[in-house]
Chain A
Amino acid sequence: MLDKVDVLIIGSGASGAAVAWSLAETKMRIVCLEQGDWMKPSDFPSNGKDYEARLYGDFATSPNIRKRKSDYPINDDNSPIKVVNFNAVGGSTVMYTAHYPRLHPSDFRVKSLDGVADDWPVDYATLEPFFAENDRMMGVSGMAGDPAYPSHQPPMPPLPLGKSGQTMARAMNKLGWHWWPSDTTIATTEYDGRAPCINLGHCTPACAQGAKASTDITYWPHAIRAGVELRTNCRVSRIETGPDGMARGVLYFDKDGVEVFQPAEVVIVAANGVGTPRLLLNSASGKNPNGLANSSGLVGKNLMFHPWANIYGYVPEAMDGHRGPPLCLWSQEFYETDLSRGFVRGYNLQFNRGIGVASEAVQTTSVGLVPWGSGHHDGFRRLMGRRMSVGCCTEDLPEEHNRVTLDPVLKDGNGIPAPKIDYTISENTRLMTDHAVARGKEILAAAGAVDVGVIRPVAYGGWHLLGTARMGEDPARSVVNPWGRCHDVKNLFIVDGSIFVTSGGVNPTSTIQALALYIADQMKQRLATLFD
């Protein structure tokens, strides 16, 4: 048996890295177990001319397509939205588009303001210093002064507008609607050892330049220098508890496939909104037959995805295309609730710069805009580099029937039961998407776009995995307390997106990491009474 550690963290992604770095100053012995390995920038797709093809192979967004050894399968057949993620040191921050909005103050008070779902037990003001600390650690570019948000100052200037950004901006000004340069975690200057962005234009499947922040190059170097041990290729199968109901440690498969027990005083789960409920459900025992920390019955329930729609079209002039980070602007014009629209809550719009040449050929051919045969060349050259698109990120409200359970048959490479997703898009979200698609078409029309098309929902759009171990004061209605400790197991913490009470309508990584830093801070303040 291995020596007991003070703190064991499961997962090295957005939240696991943040909590590891924050707790390192306590000088406790901290170990993080990561099922994947360190990624090498020289292996990233944008090093090769086949960079777009690799999105359908070893850098596919879906683990079911990618099938790396570090991946686990997910049965998402019963969901119109498929789970996408990445498993490596840095987790899904290795493979994300670095769009970095914060949740708004109103997102933490949806019950009080709009009479739906539940309020969070924390608020924006409480998290604000942790948002700022996280912006500094991840390295955020952006511009202060956005009227859609409380004031904050990103540490680096925003990404360039480029041709695409200017065209979208003019369209939005014509309509009189809000837009703003996005906060992103793409370095626009040298920052904490990272080189600035050189517009590789293929940000999502990892950045060969190292300009995009992923926690393997932001938090982890600092955490490791501060004494945290990170063990790679280690997949946790279950959390073990003792007769007192406290977590004793975890069983994991090491890089050789040998199952090992790692004892720990404190266990922190940071495995995302699918991986975390999977682990808790797989940790069922005679005393906890429905899974660990699940006396509420809510582990795995209330899964929220942010159903996505994409509205695209083609303008007469050549745009930035594949040159430059794909996301550059956002609009919060329709973010806050306005019941005259026919739905409650709202959505964020994201403006996409363009896509690569091969990807453009695949998309335009698949929807019939570009034909096979002799007309192919003229058809493609008419559209190439002229795409503009608007993505809408709709708020997904919690519903218990949307859930993660264990698949009775499917298992990963270590024989651990795989997660199963059951999910439907709600009527409120459908109405919200109708509204967003109509606005997206108006924006594209104002930009002069033609050949407008809509993709809804974006099937491989399940990036945001939220709500499956929600936080709250009431142990009957939540899994963790207001500072991330499981109601049922007083030395077990959860710090990832599964603790979200509601989803907001923006990409959640910034808020996930701010919450992780907040929970780490709460733990540090309560070390003497942590288990009371």
Chain B
Amino acid sequence: MSDAVLTDAQVADFRALAGMIIPASAQYGVPGADDPVIFADIVGSVGRDHGAVVAALARAAEVAGGAVAGLDAAGKAAVVATLQGEAGAMGVLVRLVLLCYYRDDRVMVSLGLEPRAPFPKGHVLEQGDWSLLDPVKARKPFWRAAP
């Protein structure tokens, strides 16, 4: 993990962006990515992506013409419309938000998934219908003999 930290202004802009990328949903009963617990996970996970995150925040501030956090709803929407689809540093920032959001217990439960690590419980996989293989078994060998 990098020792580099974000400034308060960068954290505020980052949180505003996170909430615009994934807002809360009353329909699904899930928090947004700016939720205190989720956003703390995001900021705590910046680590080796610090440089890219700082660059992405600078790009967002450039588009916003100042602090993203200080914009009204319409201003934020305009920023999102410009930034969405940008790759590079912005892609790293978005990836970080998504990776942390989609491991939050509340989000996982809302998706119908158990909020847990894969190990040690694992998962059940149905064996399936092996008779599907019958027509392939009926084929003659078709590998090429070599001289």
A221 at interface, CB cutoff 8 A: no
The one of A199, A208, A376 that contacts B123, using a Cβ cutoff of 8 Å: A199
The answer to the question of A365 belonging to the interface, with a C-beta cut-off of 8 Å to chain B, is yes
* A173, A181, A362 pick with most chain B CB within 10 angstroms: A362
Q: Total interface residues on B, using CB and 8 Å? A: 59
B117 touches A47 (CB 8 A): yes
Chain B, 89-147, CB within 8 A of any chain A CB: 91, 94-95, 98-103, 108, 111, 113, 115-130, 132-133, 135-137, 139-147
Given contacts A104-B143, A124-B146, A362-B95, contact A324 B23 (CB under 8 A): no
Interchain CB contact under 8 A, A200 and B20: no
CB distance from B101 to the nearest CB of A (A): 7
Q: Which residue of the partner chain, among B49, B85, B111, B125, contacts A160 with CB atoms under 8 Å?
A: B125
Q: Which of B25-51 contact A (CB under 8 A)?
A: 25, 27-28, 30, 45, 47-49
Residues of A within 8 A of B99 (CB): 50, 52-53, 56, 358, 361-362
A45-96 residues with Cβ-Cβ distance < 8 A to B are 46-53, 56-57, 67
Q: Tell me, rounded to whole Å, the shortest Cβ–Cβ distance linking B81 to chain A.
A: 9
**What's the minimum C-beta distance from A153 to chain B, rounded to whole angstroms?**
15
Query: Residue A198 at the B interface, CB < 8 A?
Result: yes
* Most chain A CB inside 10 Å of its own CB: which residue of B25, B133, B135, B141: B133
Instruction: Report whether B142 and A148 are in contact in the complex, using a CB–CB cutoff of 8 Å.
Output: yes
**Chain B, Cβ-Cβ closest to A178:** B136
B22 at the interface (CB under 8 A from A): yes
A window 367-405: CB within 8 A of B: 368, 371-374, 376-377, 381, 384
Are the CB atoms of A366 and B128 closer together than 8 Å?
A: no
CA distance A94 to B133 in the complex (A): 31
B21 within 8 A of A: yes
Main SS at interface, chain B: loop
Task: Assess whether A362 is in contact with B118, with CB atoms less than 8 Å apart.
Answer: no
Question: Cβ of A149 and Cβ of B117 under 8 Å apart?
Answer: no
A108 interface residue, CB < 8 Å from B?
A: yes
CB within 8 Å for A180 and B133 given contacts A160-B126, A371-B84, A376-B22: yes
Interface contact B119-A46, CB-CB below 8 Å: yes
Task: Kindly identify, within residues 310 to 347 of chain A, every residue whose CB is under 8 Å from any CB belonging to chain B.
Answer: 320, 322-324, 332, 336-337
When the two chains form their complex, are residues A361 and B101 in contact, meaning their CB atoms are under 8 A apart? Answer: yes
Bound-state CA distance A392–B58 (Å) is 39
Closest A residue, CB atoms, query B19: A373
- B146 near A109 with CB under 8 A, answer yes
Against B, the Cβ 8 Å flags (1 = close, 0 = not) of A175-196 are: 0101111000000000000000
Using A198-B122, A357-B111, A358-B98 as known contacts, say yes or no to A50 and B20 having CB atoms under 8 A apart: no
B22, B94, B122, B135: the one within 8 Å of A209 (CB): B122
> Does B80 sit within 8 A of A, measured CB to CB?
yes
Residues of A within 8 A of B133 (CB): 143, 169, 179-181
CA distance A337 to B144 in the complex (A): 9
Pick from A46, A56, A149, A376: contact of B118, CB under 8 Å: A46
- A180 near B136 with CB under 8 A, answer yes
Given the interface pairs A166-B128, A357-B111, the reply to whether A149 lies near B143 with Cβ below 8 Å is: yes
CB-CB nearest in chain B for A318: B112
CB-contact partner of B143 in A47, A201, A336, A374, under 8 A: A336
- Do B101 and A147 touch across chains, with their CB atoms under 8 A apart? no
Complex interface: chain B residues within 8 A of A145 (CB): 137
Q: Does A105 contact B (CB under 8 A)?
A: yes
Inter-chain CA distance A48–B100, complex, in Å, is: 13
Query: In whole angstroms, what is the CA distance A44 to B117 when docked?
Result: 11
The 8 Å CB contact of A373, one of B20, B48, B125, is B20
Known: A373-B80, A376-B23, A381-B111. A361 touches B98 (CB 8 A): yes
Is B117 a contact partner of A46 (Cβ separation < 8 A)? yes
Q: Which of A50, A105, A124, A373 has the most CB of B within 10 A?
A: A373
A323 touching B124, Cβ below 8 Å:
yes
CB contact under 8 A between A163 and B126, given known A147-B141, A377-B25: yes
CA distance A170 to B128 in the complex (A): 12
B139, A147: Cβ atoms under 8 Å? yes
Q: Is A522 an interface residue (CB 8 A)?
A: no
Interface centre among B28, B137, B143 (most CB of A within 10 A): B143
Q: How far is the CA of A147 from the CA of B133 in the complex (A)?
A: 12
Please name 25 pairs of A and B residues whose Cβ atoms are closer than 8 Å in the assembled complex, sorted by A: A47-B117, A47-B119, A50-B103, A112-B147, A145-B137, A161-B127, A161-B132, A163-B126, A166-B128, A166-B129, A173-B132, A173-B136, A181-B133, A198-B121, A200-B122, A320-B125, A322-B123, A323-B124, A336-B144, A362-B95, A372-B84, A373-B80, A374-B23, A374-B25, A381-B28
Q: Which residues of A contact B (CB under 8 A)?
A: 44, 46-53, 56-57, 67, 104-106, 108-109, 112-113, 123-124, 143, 145, 147-150, 159-163, 165-166, 169-170, 172-173, 176, 178-181, 197-202, 208-209, 320, 322-324, 332, 336-337, 357-358, 361-362, 365-366, 368, 371-374, 376-377, 381, 384
Given A320-B125, A358-B98, 17 more contacts at CB 8 Å?
Answer: A67-B48, A104-B143, A109-B146, A112-B147, A147-B139, A147-B141, A150-B143, A161-B126, A163-B128, A179-B136, A180-B133, A198-B121, A209-B120, A332-B143, A358-B103, A361-B101, A377-B28
Going nearest first, the 3 A-B pairs with the smallest beta carbon separation are A161-B128, A198-B122, A323-B123
